[in-house]
Structure 1
Amino acid sequence: MKNLIPLLLVIILSSLYSAQAQYSKKFDYQNNFQLELGGHGLIYSINYERILINSELLKTTGQIGIAYYPPFIGFRDVWIPIGINEILSINNHHIEAGVGMVIIREASRDSGNTAIDWFWDGFLSARIGYRYQKPDGRFLFRAGFTPIIETNIFSKLPRELSGKFLSEVHPLAAVSIGYNF
């Protein structure tokens, strides 16, 4: 299971590599901010993305984001999605696939909802989706499948006491709008 995501990424990118490169261009802007609904922030996240490799056909991006949920909502408090995405470009239309992790900061709370003890947790994450972005444009739109995979990689318990390494896969979807600069 844990080797499935990278294998899927390689298969998708290699099968799509035969697309005609003459219709692709490099992105003019290397950075963007995005508001994502759903996805690795669960309900929302605000993300910063930077293009690390900007060729005509393939682009590699690094992305980091944050989502905060007040204690009365009942979710884990802070979500920090981090990922690497590979983008296959055909003019203004792009297919993207990526992997990453979601780092979570949460608290144990007393009956008055006061934080007693703070700790870190995390999920593995993946992305496959569609992106609309003109190579010289300021705005972008993304939609995709963004599953998160619960693990015990941040667990306080030793692995032999805390159960299986991979416990659950949560299928999520996301829609993003962004501004390039």
Structure 2
Amino acid sequence: MTDQNPLSTPNSGVLFDELLVVMVQQGERAALDRLHARWNARLIRAAYRYTGDADLARDLAQECWIGIWRGLAQLREPARFRSYAFAILHRRGATHLRAKIRDRDHMANPPAAEHIGQGTGTAQQDEAIALNQAFAKLPPDQRLAAHLHFIEGLTLKEIADVQSIPTGTAKSRLFHARRKLKAALDPSLNQGDV
């Protein structure tokens, strides 16, 4: 029999987050700081995937934390913190995107992808750049679904909860995102499509 550290299991992060949420609900400020330290970078990455704008991503993450802080006391299932946090981020991001669409003057020049290589990087760097560019070309809802699934590891049900859509719609968004990402990264897959 092997001794396995219970804090190193795949679900240990979820359990730790659940414990932190309960502690926050009991009024422990340090637990909120710890939750922020564990989750802020993930929320910023997800917001960036959703918006394509690094500054807006940081702003959205900050707004998300305000929403988390205000509503955490009412979260009935602390184990669902991950879905709860991403749902708040999605709502804040959708609000910003709607405002951006209304203000078409600022949409004349779409945001450039960060860190665009000039062919001098390693193959791994070039692949990362190509993947980021492919992600940036996805529609926002597909981009978020793909990020939540591939980067954050959420299930279809959790993605559906985050985006407030049926599970079938989440599955469709993920399917189309996966297909577009594959086509962007491997142009030979497009030869049959005309």
User: Considering the TM-score relative to the shorter chain, is it more than 0.5?
Assistant: no
Bigger strand share: 1
TM-score by length of 1: 0.25
Bigger helix share: 2
